[in-house]
Amino acid sequence: MSDTAGNGAILVVGGGISGITAALEAAEVGNDVFIIEKNPYFGGRVAQLNQYFPKLCPPTCGLEINFKRIKDNRKIRTYSLTTVKSISGGPGNYEVQLETAPRYINSNCTACGDCAQACTDEIDDEFNFGMGKTKAAYLPHEMAFPRRYVLKKEACSAACLDAVKAACKYNAVDLDMQPKTFTLKVSSIIWSTGWNPYDPEKITNLKFNSSSAIITNMMMERLAAPNGPTQGKILRPGDKKEPESFAFVQCAGSRDENHLEHCSYICCMATFKHISYIREQYPEAQVYVFYIDLRTPGKYEHFREKFADDANVTFVKGKVADITAERDGGVTVIAENALTGAKVNQKVDLCVLATGMQPALGEEGKALGVTMDGNGFVVSEPEKGMIAAGCAKSAVDVYTSGQSSTAAALKAIQIGQ
Amino acid sequence: MSMNVQPDLDFIKAMKEAGGDTLKQCYQCATCSVACPLSTDDNPFPRKQMIMAQWGMREQLSNDASIFLCHQCGDCTEMCPRGARPGDVLGAIRAYAYRSLGWPTALADLCSSAKNLPMLIGIPAIVIFVLWVISGGMHIPSAEHFAEAGYTQFFGHWDFRLLAKNVLFIDIIMLTAAGIAVTSVYKGLSKMWKNMESSLGKNDVAYRPSIPQFIKQFLWPAVVEIMQHTRFKECTVNVDRVKGHKPLLLAFIGLFIVTCYSLFTQDVLGIIWPSMHGPLSMLNPVKWLANVSAIAMIVGVGILWMNRAKMEAEGKAQNTFYDWFLIWMIMGVGVTGFAAELLRLVGIPSLGYVIYYLHLISVAMLFLYMPYTKFAHIVYRTFALAFERFRESSYIKNPLNQ
């Protein structure tokens, strides 16, 4: 595998479902591909879901086969914990400076887990959005690829580090590991940097921090996931109550000039999907969905119909604009029902904010020479060898991400030929 | 059931002129109705009024008490996800309502646009000027005479003791202006109340309150609430307005008392004791009230002026003639009145008379244009607050049936 100029090699920035798809499509037609990922694991947001559209598969279903394709393909080189520092050159001849953050665990790791057992310090479990703790020496999640532990050195005491190092039978713990910079020469760059859930604390009127009964839709995915903090049981964080009623707050931060101006596309369907999770565990639970418009793109309309007929699911046209924490641990959501013209004060046990997609590539993208639109999405410029894929390009679902990633690969392989 | 909506283009145009041009941004998410600290559970606003305005349903809007219950806090505008500025739109709807309730229509239309400002100032200026010429009082008095009589012989003097010449001319100007305003307000209020009542859909009410009952149960509590500024204080974004509005309101009450006192002493007691004519002594407690009120008026409207300018600079409010015209008029009345008094005290009759002439113009404008400008809120909002109590009362809602 060469990394000399004019070789038609492609750099894929972001190792979620879009980046993986684009990388595989390009590599399987013979191009050299470098795929980098900021996190210590590949799989991105899909890895955090319980089930994903269009067929409501668990993430193992789609990701595992793709990881296997990556492992089997000698044209692809993967770099986790790696970010782009600078870009120079032009289409067909880019020179990219990259930096890999220290993992403190080298490739000797067999993922035996002895280090985690020996580790005495704990950190917030980021994979589960802070719902629970994990050891500072940890495997990001049970199907993590690369299957290698990570050590969060700065969170550990000296004694803890000694214990972790001593516990490893394979000499995999390397506490002196330093950030490593290196240069790649590529013809084009695919930006598949994906999205972050919009920070619910910024929506001040929804008072996210006022009650543990207010969660985000991505937290709901983790609560419902078998490898999540509750082993897949939907329980209220904090007191572990089995909720008898749920409120879904649609457009929490989306379609809003003060937050994200765009429609995040997935949140309505995510809510219907969450109702399906709830119905599996709580057939009698009351569900209230507060919406401006329910947007069910394409064939998903049929999925909506299934829950529209449920007598215990109430749809209220009106955005929730205020939430009050109640003493019993629940919350009251307040909205105006635009169809009746009266205000609704609905008390529920668990309130799910359907927060939207904030493009993950922020201002640093502009500094790297990426063109971005007013909402922070990457504008694809194939003539410049800068191509956007998936949610970096626009707010879409997994299915559409797959399409746009294949399209991005097709554009990328035409550059530098 | 199909519904045929005929958008009213004239209405939409009027909305745009009065600062409601953001109206069409609204996509009915209803955030505003929850953000509004004044909107109630049963009759939330302004989401409904926004779509009614979009559809040009001006009749229904003029019958809607909610548009007057809005105090334009701006909390809804602050949280609106689309920049539709519901607070400004409701202000524009009120401007439209005052205009459509106003009588005579020509005068109401005249007051709706800054383009008519020369006319708006010109009419009272010319009328007063002509009367000044006719009265024969149009010459600058000597310093001694000015010190003694002040402005009480602005329109000259005669020896007919039953009615002073100056009083006659002042009454011709001000009672005419006030008379038109009172007639207009009476007609407007009757229309508004009838419309609002019919919007309740209860045409065969078994008992109606008598006038004393109405005042005691609905109007007086509304007035008390206005005095206390209860709703103003609910606003979060723009709560500073209370600091300006409250002194201004008290100033108006103070000056109303002073005017009544003056009217009584000059027009009634003056018949028996001609010495009652002339400026009030600085030692008279009523004069103290007058001075304190004048200062409160200038300070209050000054605070509102700065507040409004600040909000506009921050992009939180639109610059509209409807809002500024009232601020300018009140500032005009306050500044010319106070300046005229100071010039009298320091004894500069020439400039004093000119300023007093401007003072008469601004006071006449305030009276005459009251029913058609933002000033109209003092009557329409007061009665809307009374109506809000009325529609919740047992005259309308039988508690046994609830």
Two domains, one topology: A10-101+179-194+360-412 and A198-356? yes
- CA-based nearest distance B256→chain A, Å: 41
Q: How far apart are CA B284 and CA B278, in angstroms?
A: 13
Task: Please provide the CATH number assigned to the domain covering A10-101+179-194+360-412.
Answer: 3.50.50.60
Q: How far apart are CA B128 and CA B261, in angstroms?
A: 24
Domain locations along chain B: 9-101, 107-392
Residue in chain A nearest B51 by alpha carbon: A338
pLDDT at B354 over 60: yes
Confidence of residue A220 (pLDDT cuts 50, 70, 90): very high
Q: Which of B34, B42, B82 sits opposite A334 (nearest CB)?
A: B34
Q: Which of A257, A320, A321 sits opposite B83 (nearest CB)?
A: A257
- Asked if B27 and A292 come within 8 Å (Cβ–Cβ), the reply is yes
Under CATH, what is the fold of the domain A198-356? FAD/NAD(P)-binding domain (3.50.50)
Mean pLDDT, chain A, integer: 95
DSSP string, A282-345: -TT-EEEEEES-----GGGHHHHHHHHT-TTEEEEES---EEEE-TTS-EEEEEEETTTTEEEE
Q: How far apart are CA A217 and CA A270, in angstroms?
A: 7
Mean pLDDT, chain B, integer: 90
**Mutant choice from A207, A336, A345 vs B, greatest count of B C-beta within 10 A:** A336
Instruction: Report pLDDT for B25.
Output: 94
DSSP string, A190-211: EE---EEE--GGG-GGG-GGG-
Report the pLDDT averaged over residues A357-369: 93
Instruction: Report pLDDT for A119.
Output: 96
pLDDT digits (tens, 9 = 90+) for B32-88: 999 999 999 999 999 999 999 988 888 888 889 999 999 998 899 999 999 999 999
Residue in chain B nearest A203 by alpha carbon: B79
Instruction: Report pLDDT for A6.
Output: 57
- Asked if B33 and A336 come within 8 Å (Cβ–Cβ), the reply is yes
Report the pLDDT averaged over residues B210-232: 94
- Asked if B79 and A319 come within 8 Å (Cβ–Cβ), the reply is no
SS3 B147: helix
CA atoms within 13 A on the CB side of B29: 27
Query: Residue A413 to residues A38, A79, A95, A114, A340: CA-CA distances in angstroms?
Result: 24, 21, 17, 44, 56
Instruction: Report pLDDT for B328.
Output: 97
Q: How far apart are CA B54 and CA B70, in angstroms?
A: 18
- Asked if B40 and A343 come within 8 Å (Cβ–Cβ), the reply is yes
Domain locations along chain A: 10-101+179-194+360-412, 114-167, 198-356
pLDDT at A69 over 60: yes
- On whether the CB atoms of residues B81 and A258 are closer than 8 A, the answer is yes
Q: Which of B29, B39, B42 sits opposite A319 (nearest CB)?
A: B29
- On whether the CB atoms of residues A177 and A149 are closer than 8 A, the answer is no
**Which residue, B336, B283, B276, is CA-closest to B149?**
B276
- Strand A93-100: give its sheet, edge to edge: A82-90, A93-100, A180-186
Q: What is the ipTM of this complex?
A: 0.88
Report the pLDDT averaged over residues A398-414: 96
Beta bridge partners of A335: A344
pLDDT digits (tens, 9 = 90+) for B183-207: 999 999 999 999 998 888 776 667 8
Helices in B36-164 by DSSP H: which ranges?
A: 47-54, 58-62, 66-69, 75-79, 86-101, 105-110, 117-135, 143-149
pLDDT at B315 over 90: no
Report the pLDDT averaged over residues A61-75: 94
CA atoms within 13 A on the CB side of B4: 0
A355: left (phi over 0), alpha (psi -120 to 50) or beta: beta
pLDDT digits (tens, 9 = 90+) for A105-125: 999 999 999 999 999 999 999
Instruction: Report pLDDT for B147.
Output: 85
Instruction: Report pLDDT for B129.
Output: 95
pLDDT at A2 over 60: no
**Beta-strand pair A93-100/A180-186:** antiparallel
- Asked if A251 and B29 come within 8 Å (Cβ–Cβ), the reply is yes
Share of chain B above pLDDT 90, in %: 65
Q: Which residues of B touch A343 (CB under 8 A)?
A: 33-34, 39-42, 44
Q: Which of B31, B39, B48 sits opposite A319 (nearest CB)?
A: B31
Q: Which residues of A touch B81 (CB under 8 A)?
A: 251, 255-259
- Asked if B34 and A343 come within 8 Å (Cβ–Cβ), the reply is yes
Instruction: Report pLDDT for B236.
Output: 86
Confidence of residue B144 (pLDDT cuts 50, 70, 90): confident
Report the pLDDT averaged over residues A148-153: 96
Instruction: Report pLDDT for A417.
Output: 65
Residues with Cβ within 8 Å of residue A341, at least 6 apart in sequence: B44, B48
Give chain A's end-to-end CA distance (angstroms, integer).
16
Q: How far apart are CA A72 and CA B56, in angstroms?
A: 66
Share of chain A above pLDDT 90, in %: 92
Q: Which of A292, A317, A341 sits opposite B48 (nearest CB)?
A: A341
pLDDT at B267 over 80: no
Q: How far apart are CA A256 and CA B280, in angstroms?
A: 60
- Asked if A321 and B79 come within 8 Å (Cβ–Cβ), the reply is yes
Query: Residue A378 to residues A368, A369, A375, A388, A407: CA-CA distances in angstroms?
Result: 12, 11, 9, 6, 15
Instruction: Report pLDDT for B262.
Output: 87
SS3 A369: coil
**A373, A374, A377, A383: CA torsion to nearest 10:** 0
Between vectors from CA A134 to CA A133 and to CA A140, what angle results, nearest 5°? 130
Tokens standing for B328?
A: 């300018």
